[in-house]
Amino acid sequence: MNLKQKIRAKQLTLGSWITIPNQAVIEIMASAGFDWLTIDIEHSAIDMESIQNLIGFIQAKNIKALVRVYANDEVIIKRVLDAGADGIIVPMIKSKADAEKLVDYVYYPPKGKRGVGLSRAQQYGTGFNEYQEKLKNDIIVIAQIEHIDAINNLEDILSIEEIDSTLIGPYDLSASMKFPGQYDLPQVKEAIKKYDDICDKLNKPKGAHVIQSDYTFTKSKIDLGYSFLAFSLDFFFLGDKAREQMQLLKK
């Protein structure tokens, strides 16, 4: 069973976030045993050339390489997929129309509207037919649910079959409700519960990016039935351990 099938079947998969564009960071993170790593280009300074290199470094470790793009944008989605990404995570999907556009940008006609290029993903022109099979059977499509409009339109979004999973974003969700970062407020908790309830009702996988590098926070999401989980990110794993040990040493 490949990663796409595991995600759709709600089998637990664990990944993490890459924001530091360095081969050593990839290799260190890969040694932890993640199923996938996501290169974040929404909130980092990673450029296109680095994206392709990082994808290659991740895949060389037999881990799936996802990219969190900066928008539901035709050009950037096409470019990262042509660079060989195994999947994409797309922010701010707020409606069925947004989800349909996402599908259009990922897939070639007749399913979508993606333009055809011959780059790394297509083995520079020698593997286009093979790539079409990979696109159909392996490429992972994740919609981020991080706005109150997305919560209110969630059933319609989840009706789009080509969306493999969703990923809730509590920070931006709380901001869309005029309470940025206050995701422990009752009304924000209620919105997150609505996400859980609708996904469970429709038998769809639940996803989240748990920022804390303490495993217990991710474990609590597993206990709630979340199966597509990003466990912290590179600079928190580095910084939290350094700060913790320095504090202990200074004592």
- pLDDT at residue 184 in the model: 86
Q: Which of 183, 225, 170 is nearest to 200 (CA)?
A: 225
* Mean pLDDT along residues 149-153: 98
43 is catalytic: yes
Phi–psi pair at 16, nearest 5 degrees: -150, 180
Beta bridge partners of 40: 68
For the chain, the maximum distance between any two Cα atoms, rounded to a whole number of angstroms, is 64
pLDDT in tens, 90-99: 999 999 999 9
* Range of lowest pLDDT (69-78, 126-135, 174-183): 174-183
Element (H, E) at 78: helix 74-82
pLDDT-based confidence at 181, cuts 50/70/90? confident
Q: Which of 5, 27, 43, 180 is catalytic?
A: 43
Going along the chain from its start, the domains and CATH numbers come out as 3-250 (3.20.20.60)
Give, in order, the Cα–Cα distances in Å from 134 to each of 4, 85, 130, 246: 11, 11, 6, 47
At which residue do the structure tokens 């040990």 appear? 245
Q: Which of 65, 141, 44 is nearest to 98 (CA)?
A: 141
pLDDT in tens, 183-218: 889 999 999 999 999 999 999 999 999 999 999 999
Measured CA to CA, the distance from residue 17 to residue 19 in angstroms comes to 7
To the nearest whole number, what is the mean pLDDT of the chain?
97
- pLDDT at residue 183 in the model: 83
- Measured at the CA of 75, the angle between CA 161 and CA 173, to 5 degrees, comes to 60
* Range of lowest pLDDT (26-40, 171-185, 231-245): 171-185
pTM over 0.85: yes
